[in-house]
Amino acid sequence: MTTVDATWARPRLRAAVVLGPGQWRGEKLVHHVKDGETGWYYRVGPREHFLLSRMDGTRTLDDLAAEYAATYRRRLGPENWQQLFGMLHRRQLLADATDPETIAHLTASAAEGAAKARRGPLSARWPLFDPDRLFNRLLPRLGPLFSWWFVLPALLAVLAVTGYVAVHLPDLIKGVGGGHRPLAAIVAAVVTTWAIVFLHECAHGLTCRHFGGRVTEIGVMWRFPLLAPYCKVDDIVLFTPRRRVATAFAGVFVSMLALVPFAAIRIWVGPGALRDLAGTMLLFGTATAALNLVPFLRLDGYHMLSHALNLADLRADTYRFWGRLLRGGPAAVAGYRRRDRLIYTGYGVASAVFAVTVLTLLVRFWYVSLAGWLGSGWAVAVLLAEALLLLGFAGYLARRRSAAGGDASAAGTATNQAGSARPSRQ
């Protein structure tokens, strides 16, 4: 029997293929499958995952069919196997049954898709370097930092800093708002802030690497209206929910931990430039961390909530849930789990309240400012013009996103459940 014949008789996935746990996406449970050689991430249903997880070269097709029938009370027919192995062949996921040209094409298409995802009118990414080798050198030295012996005391220190900022908030605001700041102090604050943000992103990457993932990029990201470092941790989809939450929280945790020395400086150092810098870093550092934890913005807090609930994309799925509910009523969402119906309903209502509140405050502030400069009539005219421009831009983005969604590639599956494929885009 040739190697290829043995591969099909006792199928075995390539060593670079990694299977992730299930996540809920709307009504369906999906699993991510990573091909580390080509850079592609695929989504499959639980039945496909069941079969793929058992393709280790020790089981025959009859063995797989028997285990499948015992679990799902259904036997796989020839057409099911044909669909499954057709997908495995197209994606080159089986060991000893690969074609170098197809592998090269898949690798190039994944890189091209990731490059396209970096460009957009409101966001863009510019990779600077691959940190995997650096993180591999650092992790053995930083291993103790991931133990509870360090994490628990560090959490207490972070809570102490948060309490200190809350108690002294009026003094901190007064100190930042009062007096002239020399250029050197402003530059020091900006450089220190960027250093902390860089540590924030490295914390995401190191935590991802600690849990066995690979980190492929550190760079600079433009997300309107901010420019900041980023760290790409696509492998987070392969972790358990608890590890995904820890990876998402690591950035805020390190950002707040970096404020502990500034709290000590402000407590023990007398009046002067150093104490002023410490107060500035405490105020803006804590405010930034709090903003990061708001679950209605696509920042760390949002991802932590999604991961804790084991939902693939809480906001997108909430929009989809409410769209179906408003168009078709309760019957249209009857296929969702009761737990998820409650989550999507509550998150949708809370998101709307948050958005309306923030929008009302912004419009009120901007109207008062414009009225003071131009008069109330012109202020209303400017606000209306801006609203029309924003609506037009929102429509453009919606059409752009819809067109991009139509280009998503899909892979056939063996059990009539939609399996899809995508390059690294997180």
Which range (54-58, 209-213, 377-381) has the least confidence? Answer: 377-381
C-alpha of 9 from chain center? 39
Instruction: Output the pLDDT for position 411.
Output: 32
Which range (44-48, 208-212, 316-320, 371-375) has the least confidence? Answer: 371-375
Instruction: Output the pLDDT for position 7.
Output: 59
pLDDT, tens digit (0-9, with 9 covering 90-100), for 200-217: 999 999 999 999 999 989
Q: How far is CA 361 from CA 312, 358, 366, 370, 376, in A?
A: 31, 5, 9, 14, 17
Instruction: Output the pLDDT for position 5.
Output: 52
Cα separation, 69 vs 103, in Å, equals: 33
Instruction: Output the pLDDT for position 401.
Output: 64
Instruction: Output the pLDDT for position 314.
Output: 95
Cα separation, 131 vs 120, in Å, equals: 24
Contact 344, 380 (CB under 8 A): no
Cis peptide before 295 (omega within 30 of 0): no
The H-assigned helical ranges of 269-424 are: 273-292, 300-308, 314-328, 338-374, 376-406
Which range (30-39, 158-167, 387-396) has the least confidence? Answer: 387-396
Locate tokens 């080159």: which residue?
92
Report phi then psi at 240, rounded to 5.
Answer: -70, 160
C-alpha of 38 from chain center? 21
pLDDT, tens digit (0-9, with 9 covering 90-100), for 73-95: 999 988 999 999 999 999 999 99
Instruction: Output the pLDDT for position 187.
Output: 86
Q: In which band, very low, low, confident or very high, does the pLDDT at 426 lie, cut at 50, 70 and 90?
A: very low
Which class for 78: exposed (0-12), middle (13-18), buried (19 or more C-beta within 10 A)? exposed
Q: Is the predicted pLDDT of residue 52 greater than 80, yes or no?
A: yes
Locate tokens 């996921």: which residue?
93
User: pLDDT: is 33 or 177 the higher one?
Assistant: 33
Q: In which band, very low, low, confident or very high, does the pLDDT at 114 lie, cut at 50, 70 and 90?
A: confident
Q: In which band, very low, low, confident or very high, does the pLDDT at 420 lie, cut at 50, 70 and 90?
A: very low
Instruction: Output the pLDDT for position 425.
Output: 37
Instruction: Output the pLDDT for position 376.
Output: 85
Q: In which band, very low, low, confident or very high, does the pLDDT at 180 lie, cut at 50, 70 and 90?
A: low
Give the HSE-up count for residue 74: Cα atoms under 13 Å, Cβ half-sphere.
8
Q: In which band, very low, low, confident or very high, does the pLDDT at 294 lie, cut at 50, 70 and 90?
A: very high
Report phi then psi at 70, rounded to 5.
Answer: -70, -30
Q: How far is CA 101 from CA 12, 41, 170, 194, 375, in A?
A: 21, 19, 65, 43, 67
Kindly report the pTM of this predicted structure.
Answer: 0.86
Cα separation, 146 vs 206, in Å, equals: 10
- Percentage of residues of the chain with pLDDT beyond 70: 88
Rounded mean pLDDT of the chain? 87
374-391 average pLDDT score: 87
Cα separation, 126 vs 235, in Å, equals: 19
Contact 69, 75 (CB under 8 A): yes
Instruction: Output the pLDDT for position 186.
Output: 80
Instruction: Output the pLDDT for position 111.
Output: 82
The beta-strand segments (E) located in 177-313 are 217-223, 226-232
Instruction: Output the pLDDT for position 421.
Output: 41
